[in-house]
Chain A
């Protein structure tokens, strides 16, 4: 099937569906002359959701496909399918719950939803690309569309600033990554990840280039995944971006960073495992510690979640740092191979964090604030939101019966298996630190209630009840159910992650 033809279209089915969706919205926008802002936004959103569903079905369809390389640049395999489904699911959740929020705040709905579809397509392409050029194009496409989406609220100075900041940091990171890739190409003479691996295996002298090349490439991907020390853009960008955009940046977009990193390191640079593993261990400790320490001092919940997502990236990276090499163990029987922990963590984190950001959005819609003071006594005003948020916070902390625990269980397990003692000790301390700021939100929501009724009457903001819009409620509900389901009965998810991770690991030498 390694040829360009109609037969290979099935291999890029999700991407085609998403692309058609985006182009359709663009066409509709030019065709429709009446600029009725309200209805156009809603109809584009509907189209987007429809085609995202289509893309999801396409990705599920790919799960059953025989793994193969298509169009010389992408590979259809269980690992890619897992990531595609996760990414499209995340975008779908964001579109359904955040769509009307975005429509109300933005002008130019046509452009917005077109970009939204394109960004999804860029992500699904990136996770399956096996060619350096394709990886770069997809990641760069993802970045550029994201810059625009982040700065889409033109009237909002913070949004514009967030967009510019993201762009400035992002373009530097991209160029450094490109430099790294050019080194890989120069040393191996190929853009294909497998051929690069072969070239390095064949020639030891050439292999020396791999180490600086890996470092430089990791800068770009580390930027996407918001790893220390490339995370400085994240807090301002996450804070300033429209909340639904923040939700996907911190989950789906980050997942793409990890997926590409995993594929590149394991497939092309698997031979240099001994070099990049200590690097990842160090980055992991640095990332989780930096994210957690800075999250401690935040008074804005949105900004706190931004720093927390940096810290979470540190835990997720543990999975990749503790990945096994296929020569070390029998992959089919190994329970924790590191990479499956990364996948499970990403999947659980997706639902948890999207849910948390949707609660932030709902509170913001009503109170106009992200500040922790807007959450005081939330359990009185919006009990369902408060309880849902508690579950998300517990999941982020890693308390059992939530998905966040299963993720931690697997990545910690992988690290313990390799006896990375410093890594796990750092992780334990960090979990303790993180509980403090997560539960600070729980404290505000549940504990801060005026003692007697006279006080309640005096402070109406503490008593005015509100509910989120129906789609938001529905998505939050879905996220709660998914979080608890992954925490209590993750068998099917584990099987799925095992298939995906074992396939990728078995490919490496």
Chain B
């Protein structure tokens, strides 16, 4: 166990690279597919073990590995997980396994390249969540662009070229802005270590106005990098295209994990490292988050394409995360010369806001992952996603209907399912700190119910089934079928783990919340100590 604990993170991280390498040297599609599925099980198993092995009594960063890397830069191969990253690594492993498994069923062209890309994608995502060194963090952050670009561009829909390049360039511009901020932070703090840089209070030794100016620049550099990824309104315009054109498993990873990288960056880097600038600009984060919630929800209602609708719902749902983060940043301020965090109630509200944001990251991963898979299920059969072509599917495909109901209600925030708790905590925290914007955000919750119930459930599933609307149904294998056929084995297997998690976390959110709360309190205590 000692050995495993010491090498846990490097094994999870390197394993996908090994899998990718083996895939390169294999020429049998079956071997590649099953090998890929089996390979993805190891990180899943290890990350599950990691959740159980994380010691709450000790807290903080655990399973740390710190090896010198580029000595003259003082950059090191520094990995570690805390309560914030551990569940996200588990989420990454889970969604990767499910996506690989699902892809094995539906991808039949250029199989080798597909699986190599997928393993590399897994590598980069694990890397971002584990890295505690800016150079390493940036390395994995940028590498994740490339396989996703290829996944969208090669296996995507009709408009894939446009969507993939748009995805790449938007996120690249954000990333390079972040690179500048990383460099600025480095010159101010003298280290590339994420934890030490925060502890060094970059820019704070300068005169007050200069400190605010420079740390604001660094803040906006990081903000651009992360906001493009989240994506926060108004940086979201790449998202609908990329999600809509990506292959199903690509959309699952994109929505499930890649968007979380941005939100994770805010919590891991921006809040602890630049508390003053975060606070100064907190109302911007809050406002952008609240606008995203409402705007995203309204746009959803207007969509005619089912996948595009789900894509916009991500904009809306990631708005909750921004709202929570912004609310917490607002609490870093001073009232009458006293830090607000000194007040127990404010501390609790800020912790709730962070908890809500983090929980929303996790839940959005499983819920939207499931929704994209469900869209894939119908698309493989109907070869269209036009809402107008569907109707009355509940009688034809009851199993599918059932799955969709659970996922859709979870997305809408029905109590008892996972989505509810994230919204609850976010708004509970936000109402106490930034009541007006939180109240504005509530409009989005109402509109979510509209697009989920009306656009998805009613349009697709309820009413009479009309066979003339769409006359070229196939089975999932592409053979001709007389009408919609229900889900088959591999699709069910892909979805069940997500559905189960929605129930489990809906009934007993503490499972994951324990981790997030640990980190939320640690972040806030840290900020309080450096303010």
Contact status A489-B143, CB under 8 Å? no
| Contact status of A429 and B72, CB under 8 A, knowing A399-B145, A436-B165 | no
Contact status B173-A416, CB under 8 Å? no
4 residue pairs, one from A and one from B, having the closest CB atoms:
A432-B173, A400-B139, A416-B183, A447-B153
| Residue B531 is within 8 A (CB to CB) of chain A in the complex | no
Interface segment out of the listed B174-182, B252-260, B336-344, B457-465: B174-182
A408 vs B169: C-alpha distance in the bound complex, in angstroms? Answer: 17
A397 vs B171: C-alpha distance in the bound complex, in angstroms? Answer: 13
A421 vs B73: C-alpha distance in the bound complex, in angstroms? Answer: 22
Q: B residues within 8 A CB of A417?
A: 183, 187
Contact status B173-A428, CB under 8 Å? yes
B146 → chain A, closest Cβ, in Å? Answer: 7
B469 → chain A, closest Cβ, in Å? Answer: 26
Contact status B179-A412, CB under 8 Å? yes
| Residue A352 is within 8 A (CB to CB) of chain B in the complex | no
Within 8 A of B (CB), among A373-401: 379, 394, 397-401
Q: How large is the interface on B (under 10, 10 to 19, 20 to 34, 35 or more residues)?
A: 35 or more
| Residue A446 is within 8 A (CB to CB) of chain B in the complex | yes
Interface segment out of the listed A169-177, A232-240, A490-498: A490-498
A424 vs B182: C-alpha distance in the bound complex, in angstroms? Answer: 13
Q: B residues within 8 A CB of A399?
A: 142-143, 145-146
Q: A residues within 8 A CB of B168?
A: 435, 439
| Residue B161 is within 8 A (CB to CB) of chain A in the complex | yes
B392 → chain A, closest Cβ, in Å? Answer: 32
Instruction: Determine which residue in B72, B149, B164, B168 has the highest number of CB atoms from chain A within 10 A of its CB, and name it.
Output: B72
Q: B residues within 8 A CB of A428?
A: 173, 176-177, 180
| Contact status of A443 and B70, CB under 8 A, knowing A400-B139, A428-B180, A432-B173 | no
Contact status A432-B143, CB under 8 Å? no
| Residue A101 is within 8 A (CB to CB) of chain B in the complex | no
Contact status B180-A424, CB under 8 Å? yes
| Contact status of A431 and B173, CB under 8 A, knowing A399-B146, A400-B138, A416-B180 | yes
Partner of B72, one of A439, A442, A443, A491: A491
B326 → chain A, closest Cβ, in Å? Answer: 24
Q: How large is the interface on A (under 10, 10 to 19, 20 to 34, 35 or more residues)?
A: 35 or more
A481 → chain B, closest Cβ, in Å? Answer: 15
| Residue A464 is within 8 A (CB to CB) of chain B in the complex | no
A491 vs B76: C-alpha distance in the bound complex, in angstroms? Answer: 12
A252 vs B72: C-alpha distance in the bound complex, in angstroms? Answer: 26
Contact status A443-B177, CB under 8 Å? no
* Chain A, residue nearest B138 (CB): A400
Contact status A335-B183, CB under 8 Å? no
* Chain B, residue nearest A394 (CB): B146
| Residue B172 is within 8 A (CB to CB) of chain A in the complex | yes
| Contact status of A494 and B183, CB under 8 A, knowing A399-B146, A428-B173, A447-B154 | no
Q: A residues within 8 A CB of B149?
A: 439, 442
| Residue B186 is within 8 A (CB to CB) of chain A in the complex | yes
| Residue B184 is within 8 A (CB to CB) of chain A in the complex | yes
Contact status B146-A416, CB under 8 Å? no
| Residue A194 is within 8 A (CB to CB) of chain B in the complex | no
| Residue A78 is within 8 A (CB to CB) of chain B in the complex | no
Contact status B169-A401, CB under 8 Å? no
Partner of A401, one of B74, B143, B186: B143
| Contact status of A446 and B150, CB under 8 A, knowing A424-B180, A431-B173, A498-B72 | yes
Partner of A447, one of B135, B142, B161, B177: B161
Instruction: Determine which residue in A440, A443, A449 has the highest number of CB atoms from chain B within 10 A of its CB, and name it.
Output: A443
In the complex, 25 of the A-B residue pairs with CB atoms within 8 angstroms, ordered by the A residue number, are A335-B73, A335-B74, A397-B172, A398-B176, A401-B143, A405-B142, A409-B135, A412-B183, A413-B183, A413-B186, A416-B180, A431-B172, A432-B172, A432-B173, A432-B176, A435-B168, A435-B169, A435-B172, A436-B165, A439-B169, A442-B153, A443-B164, A446-B154, A447-B160, A495-B72
